[in-house]
A and B are shown apart, each in its own frame.
Chain A
């Protein structure tokens, strides 16, 4: 046992080593751009240098003259295809080569295809465009942006949450906070570059591309290219980090497919890091105004959360995190309003905890400010406002272990040793600050299918079109099968990341463990029924035993009384070599067409605040120590402790790693990450990994994860709450709170940098 493999507590699974660990440390895990294929041509993108206007003329002569150039795909060449659609599967409605309109800087204007990567890059750099350019609107304060209420603009955000009479409660409140907060533009920057490799065999198209939604992409790409869905296959067995960036398909996929068809050869396009900033999605900047009123007893009587989000001109991308902030505490009254601000930018998209990261940052900062205003311990302040029911719909929580999380994390952290006086804790030249905040993430699940095969020798194959983005879902799907079928992990193989497999929902919204495990469990249980019926049948090895009293252990069917029959003998009795079951899981409350929608590439989410019976969330509490050099104002985070409760934990190893990674993301949100925008040109400036700062090894020291036991039978059959996005919610507020504690400076605009603390 080491720190990476925490001993399981109640309702927690073993820290089984990742099923693909060996492949990953030997370089044998095949990421989509690794596919070795004969005769592949290389693609390189050319992108716009303006953010708003029209391409009047494209000059490709010089590019075509580069030796090795095979083709240039540009305006007109996609006319026989359909425009991309904006939605859960498509990143944007902008079809960059369908129309010469430029909607944002860095928009694709051509794809060069050449014999070599070097020739393609050289030629792409020689493409020149003449533009009719207009002055772009970059962000919130730019002239020419269009603002509209977000509610009802997207199926993901139907209405602004409210409860009670906010205005009256606000007017009456004894202690008030009225503050503004902001979060910056951020790009996912997974270390794997975005890429598409397209191969045609007759009418059959295979796409190798990192994807969090192979089934959705198959359907959407078939629509764009006017192909039969059966002729399109998306392959993505390993994904080199996703964080939401590989959820929606971008316009590039169809463009590369068209190029491959034109030249009659496979084409691979690996997008360079700089171009990814404009051709993929990102987390848009947000602004918040929070008004909070409380009585002297510390009870919140009024909570107002107004927010503004940036999106592109054509697409109403909205995250609307007020759905969660409005249900967090026992507010007496709630008023929320979210606005969308359309600017000349590429369409934003999901990035790890899309609504919660910015919105809970604002809320938790305000909670800390209110605790200070009340002269109250911030943990105690949260305890006082712990709700029995959520304040908007009055529904109970399916489970809520927030206070347990606070208790276990604060004890491990040593919160009682904190002197609450600002600036009072010091270690030599270093000012010490301690802060805390709440993490919350909605628990959802979606329809999912899986196929499981057991053979007489005890070998198990699990097939499910989900996606191994680093979460460990391949491992835990295998663990679920191993547990239900009574075999060791060495007997398990798991196939994922291929649209030819049984369909699974998009790997987003922290739904994969719950959805995949529920489907795998159902398939395994069907196999168990068949085996038990055969084992207990007339003349069979365990004749006369009741099915319900049987179990599978160590490749044997066992009875309660200790009798057993070897799997091989039961198979012999059945006269079969393999039992294979295909199972479809749909969460409680699913629509009658939810499963058919799964095959059409649409994921119907259930859970969170949308269920009738209860609201479903996972919770956590994070405590951070910061040290700020009294001379240079350098900010260090020597330790962070997080305690999280997320129902059944399938594997304490992968769960800890994900939560740890999430908390480090949170430190990055607090202190490092921001995409800078040139306001005149609506252009991202720091488009590489040198200038877009993410935490490096030296930024991180001690990170402690506590997995708080929790049992929740309401959420889904597996009893699992997702936790991939929980860890980085609240972290930035905890850091901001610690910075305030150390320095007395309340930084409300992320990221917190040295220059914010000087003077």
Chain B
């Protein structure tokens, strides 16, 4: 860090590298103060910042991020959307599942800067503006498809992906295609029942 004062922590200015196009409440986040590289510049050093613009839950975010920052950490630490959870950071548990351009992706395995121009949907973006739950969210409530609730955002995003992919045809299919999302409380039978209900509701709609 070039600014030696930072180590004392006292003189440090709050510095926002994120800007939001819509009039959303800004989360209190911080990033190093160095200037951001445009994303199209020649291959950057890992520690450098790059500019990246993403649509997250239908809002545009312009961010300057460390090239090593995962999409998961960008959402949680830089955008302030903490509904998406970190359970392993290695793509092994599924808790960080989000939709990128409608497809389910493990956000811990995606560098944020790889998502320039993409449309990201997180659990916070599912319910309607009036507060009506998404059919999958409602089905998870109806079938008690969670206990501690920590893996739940990832399960819900993955369930939406699973239904959209057409992999929710049978209970066995659901079990197979939802096995990338661990639930240590082991609500699995309830998760399957919830996805069956949501699938049927989605088909009717």
Q: Which residues on A are within 8 Å of B, measured CB to CB?
A: 2-5, 17-18, 20-31, 33-34, 36-41, 67-71, 115-119, 122, 188-193, 238-243, 263-265, 270, 272-273, 469-472, 653-654, 656-658, 660-661, 664-665, 668, 688-690, 694-703
Asked if residues A18 and B144 are in contact (CB atoms below 8 Å), the reply is: yes
CA distance A4 to B193 in the complex (A): 9
Residue from the list B133, B175, B183 in contact with A698, Cβ < 8 A = B175
Interface of A is mostly: loop
Asked if residues A3 and B9 are in contact (CB atoms below 8 Å), the reply is: no
CA distance A86 to B86 in the complex (A): 30
- Chain B positions within 8 Å of A272 at CB level: 89
- Chain A positions within 8 Å of B152 at CB level: 24-25
* B163 located at the interface, meaning its Cβ lies under 8 Å from any Cβ of chain A in the complex: no
Residue from the list A3, A190, A653 in contact with B193, Cβ < 8 A = A3
A115-B6, A653-B144 given; A26·B123 CB < 8 A: yes
CA distance A118 to B85 in the complex (A): 17
A25-B156, A38-B14 given; A241·B175 CB < 8 A: no
Asked if residues B147 and A28 are in contact (CB atoms below 8 Å), the reply is: no
Question: Quick check: which of B35-43, B99-107, B184-192 contacts chain A, the rest being far away?
Answer: B184-192
* B10 located at the interface, meaning its Cβ lies under 8 Å from any Cβ of chain A in the complex: yes
Q: What are 28 A-B contacts defined by CB distance under 8 Å?
A: A2-B143, A25-B133, A25-B137, A27-B122, A38-B14, A38-B28, A67-B32, A69-B1, A70-B7, A70-B9, A118-B68, A118-B69, A118-B73, A188-B184, A190-B148, A193-B86, A193-B87, A240-B148, A241-B148, A264-B9, A470-B147, A657-B185, A661-B187, A689-B87, A689-B182, A698-B176, A699-B179, A700-B186
Asked if residues B126 and A26 are in contact (CB atoms below 8 Å), the reply is: yes
- Chain A positions within 8 Å of B148 at CB level: 190-192, 238-242, 469-470
Enumerate the 7 nearest inter-chain pairs by beta-carbon distance, A residue then B residue, closest first.
A27-B83, A240-B150, A470-B148, A24-B149, A470-B147, A664-B186, A27-B123
Shortest Cβ distance from B2 into A: residue: A67
CA distance A560 to B186 in the complex (A): 46
Closest beta carbon of chain B to A435's beta carbon, Å: 20
Closest beta carbon of chain A to B127's beta carbon, Å: 6
Residue from the list B150, B153, B184, B186 in contact with A660, Cβ < 8 A = B186
- Chain A positions within 8 Å of B180 at CB level: 696
Asked if residues A27 and B7 are in contact (CB atoms below 8 Å), the reply is: no
CA distance A637 to B179 in the complex (A): 16
Asked if residues B9 and A25 are in contact (CB atoms below 8 Å), the reply is: no
Shortest Cβ distance from A664 into B: residue: B186
Closest beta carbon of chain A to B91's beta carbon, Å: 9
* B202 located at the interface, meaning its Cβ lies under 8 Å from any Cβ of chain A in the complex: no
- Chain B positions within 8 Å of A656 at CB level: 144
Residue from the list B69, B150, B187 in contact with A657, Cβ < 8 A = B187
- Chain B positions within 8 Å of A698 at CB level: 175-176, 179
Asked if residues B178 and A697 are in contact (CB atoms below 8 Å), the reply is: yes
* B201 located at the interface, meaning its Cβ lies under 8 Å from any Cβ of chain A in the complex: no
Asked if residues B66 and A4 are in contact (CB atoms below 8 Å), the reply is: no
CA distance A694 to B182 in the complex (A): 8
A25-B137, A27-B153, A36-B80 given; A697·B147 CB < 8 A: no
Asked if residues A39 and B12 are in contact (CB atoms below 8 Å), the reply is: yes
- Chain A positions within 8 Å of B142 at CB level: 2, 4, 17
CA distance A445 to B12 in the complex (A): 50
Interface string of B1-44 (1 = CB under 8 A from A): 11000111110101000000000000111111000000000000
Residue from the list B32, B93, B191 in contact with A689, Cβ < 8 A = B93
11 new A-B contacts at CB < 8 Å, known A31-B150, A192-B150, A664-B188 = A3-B189, A17-B141, A26-B126, A26-B137, A36-B29, A36-B82, A122-B47, A239-B148, A240-B87, A657-B190, A689-B182
Asked if residues B144 and A39 are in contact (CB atoms below 8 Å), the reply is: no
A26-B126, A31-B150, A470-B149 given; A36·B187 CB < 8 A: no
Shortest Cβ distance from A24 into B: residue: B149
Closest beta carbon of chain A to B148's beta carbon, Å: 3
Q: Which residues on B are within 8 Å of A, measured CB to CB?
A: 1-2, 6-10, 12, 14, 27-32, 47, 66, 68-69, 73, 76-77, 80-90, 92-93, 95, 122-124, 126-127, 133, 137-138, 140-153, 156, 174-176, 178-193
Closest beta carbon of chain A to B109's beta carbon, Å: 13
Residue from the list B88, B127, B191 in contact with A26, Cβ < 8 A = B127
CA distance A703 to B175 in the complex (A): 14
Shortest Cβ distance from B146 into A: residue: A24
Asked if residues A27 and B31 are in contact (CB atoms below 8 Å), the reply is: no
Closest beta carbon of chain A to B72's beta carbon, Å: 10
Closest beta carbon of chain B to A275's beta carbon, Å: 11
CA distance A37 to B66 in the complex (A): 20
Closest beta carbon of chain A to B96's beta carbon, Å: 10
- Chain B positions within 8 Å of A68 at CB level: 1, 32
Shortest Cβ distance from B76 into A: residue: A34
Closest beta carbon of chain B to A450's beta carbon, Å: 22
Asked if residues B28 and A37 are in contact (CB atoms below 8 Å), the reply is: yes
- Chain A positions within 8 Å of B150 at CB level: 31, 190-192, 238, 240-241
Asked if residues B182 and A240 are in contact (CB atoms below 8 Å), the reply is: no
CA distance A375 to B148 in the complex (A): 44
Asked if residues A660 and B189 are in contact (CB atoms below 8 Å), the reply is: yes
B31, B88, B90 pick with most chain A CB within 10 angstroms:
B88
A2-B142, A191-B85, A697-B175 given; A703·B189 CB < 8 A: yes
CA distance A34 to B29 in the complex (A): 12
Asked if residues B178 and A472 are in contact (CB atoms below 8 Å), the reply is: no
A3-B193, A68-B32, A700-B175 given; A471·B84 CB < 8 A: no
Closest beta carbon of chain B to A445's beta carbon, Å: 22
- Chain B positions within 8 Å of A660 at CB level: 186-187, 189-190
CA distance A122 to B148 in the complex (A): 32
CA distance A664 to B84 in the complex (A): 25
Asked if residues A688 and B92 are in contact (CB atoms below 8 Å), the reply is: yes
- Chain B positions within 8 Å of A270 at CB level: 86
Asked if residues B184 and A243 are in contact (CB atoms below 8 Å), the reply is: yes
CA distance A698 to B181 in the complex (A): 11
CA distance A555 to B175 in the complex (A): 45
- Chain A positions within 8 Å of B146 at CB level: 24-25, 470
CA distance A2 to B8 in the complex (A): 58
A689-B93, A697-B188 given; A4·B85 CB < 8 A: no
Residue from the list A29, A115, A243, A690 in contact with B149, Cβ < 8 A = A29
- Chain A positions within 8 Å of B126 at CB level: 26
Asked if residues B133 and A39 are in contact (CB atoms below 8 Å), the reply is: no
A17, A696, A699 pick with most chain B CB within 10 angstroms:
A696
B82, B84, B185 pick with most chain A CB within 10 angstroms:
B185
Asked if residues B87 and A40 are in contact (CB atoms below 8 Å), the reply is: no
Closest beta carbon of chain B to A90's beta carbon, Å: 24
Closest beta carbon of chain B to A692's beta carbon, Å: 9
Closest beta carbon of chain B to A700's beta carbon, Å: 5
Closest beta carbon of chain A to B140's beta carbon, Å: 5
- Chain A positions within 8 Å of B29 at CB level: 36
A21, A70, A695 pick with most chain B CB within 10 angstroms:
A21
Shortest Cβ distance from B191 into A: residue: A697
- Chain A positions within 8 Å of B124 at CB level: 26-28
- Chain A positions within 8 Å of B184 at CB level: 188-191, 241, 243, 694
- Chain B positions within 8 Å of A41 at CB level: 9
Shortest Cβ distance from A690 into B: residue: B92
- Chain A positions within 8 Å of B185 at CB level: 241, 470, 657, 661
Asked if residues B93 and A191 are in contact (CB atoms below 8 Å), the reply is: yes
Closest beta carbon of chain A to B99's beta carbon, Å: 13
Asked if residues B144 and A657 are in contact (CB atoms below 8 Å), the reply is: yes
Closest beta carbon of chain A to B202's beta carbon, Å: 16
- Chain A positions within 8 Å of B80 at CB level: 36
Shortest Cβ distance from A195 into B: residue: B86
- Chain A positions within 8 Å of B123 at CB level: 25-27
